[in-house]
């Protein structure tokens, strides 16, 4: 995959997951409509920025390996497992909601596919800073301050044993920080804390080891410089409009 293919911006729809891209005015309702035709595979969306665009915080070599190898592998294996089970036409979110009914291959690879689709969009070359608007109000209401939220999120990310993810979700109307092991996510029926994902951080070693080695706290600290709060805010706005449960 050459660099030019990474530079193309915008979120391309993953069949059954996104039905249209983000627009300048935000996420359109078309994102949640079912596609007219039958899905034949889950698509790995292109990165919404250049592979090295998050430097110096997330290095380009890690991003290329993470996206082109790890995420691509999850996508391929998820497609193979979903086709074998005859569930390839189901939206990914629906598969996750019933993941306990399926083999581990669906849980591991479907989670890996979907988690990374979200994760790439949680970051931006123009990210960083703090949330604003109604999301800021919600963070202050739940955690007292943005600084306190970041400290709690970082602490949760730092204490994930082995491989996993850290999440900011909406659960029962309130914001909550939670973690999952391996490639699990809060949309799964097996999750200890189920909810609508707003923000996520991949704390698998492959996400940071080339640059930070075993210094996970350095990676977590760097993450705040690229968080795409605009995207997170739009997700929160959609949840407020009763789109809870839809990725």
Same domain, 104 and 191: no
Same domain, 19 and 101: yes
- What global pTM score does this model have? 0.83
Same domain, 99 and 191: no
Q: Among 121, 148, 168, identify where a domain stops.
A: 121
- Mean pLDDT, residues 183-195 taken together: 97
Residue 126 resides in a domain: no
Same domain, 175 and 85: no
pLDDT at 34: 40
Q: Domains in the chain: how many in total?
A: 2
pLDDT at 212: 81
**Ramachandran assignment for 146, one of left (phi > 0), alpha (psi -120 to 50 degrees), beta (any other):** alpha
From the number of C-beta atoms within 10 Å of its C-beta (0-12, 13-18, 19+), residue 179 rates as buried
Q: Which domain holds residue 238?
A: 133-243
pLDDT at 213: 85
């Amino acid at each position: 995959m050459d660099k030019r293919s990474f530079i193309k911006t915008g979120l391309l729809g993953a069949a059954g997951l996104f039905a249209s891209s983000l627009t300048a005015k935000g996420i359109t309702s078309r994102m949640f409509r079912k596609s007219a035709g039958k899905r034949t595979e889950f698509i790995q969306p292109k990165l919404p920025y250049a592979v090295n665009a998050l430097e110096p915080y997330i290095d380009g070599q890690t991003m290329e390996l993470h996206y082109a190898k790890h995420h691509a592998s999850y996508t391929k294996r998820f497609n193979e497992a979903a086709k074998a089970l005859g569930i390839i036409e189901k939206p990914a979110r629906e598969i996750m909601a019933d993941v306990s009914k399926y083999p581990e291959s669906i849980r591991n690879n479907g989670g890996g596919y979907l988690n990374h689709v979200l994760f790439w969009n949680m970051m931006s070359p123009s990210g960083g800073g703090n949330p604003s608007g109604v999301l800021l109000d919600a963070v202050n209401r739940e955690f007292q301050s943005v600084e306190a939220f970041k400290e709690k999120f970082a602490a949760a990310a730092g204490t994930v044993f082995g491989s996993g993810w850290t999440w900011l979700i909406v659960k029962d109307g309130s914001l909550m920080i939670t973690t999952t092991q391996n490639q699990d996510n809060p949309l799964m029926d097996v999750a200890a804390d189920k909810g609508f994902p707003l923000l996520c951080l991949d704390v698998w070693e492959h996400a940071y080891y080339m640059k930070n080695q075993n210094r996970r706290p350095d990676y977590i600290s760097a993450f705040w410089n690229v968080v795409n709060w605009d995207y997170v805010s739009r997700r929160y706005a959609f949840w407020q409009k009763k789109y809870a449960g839809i990725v």
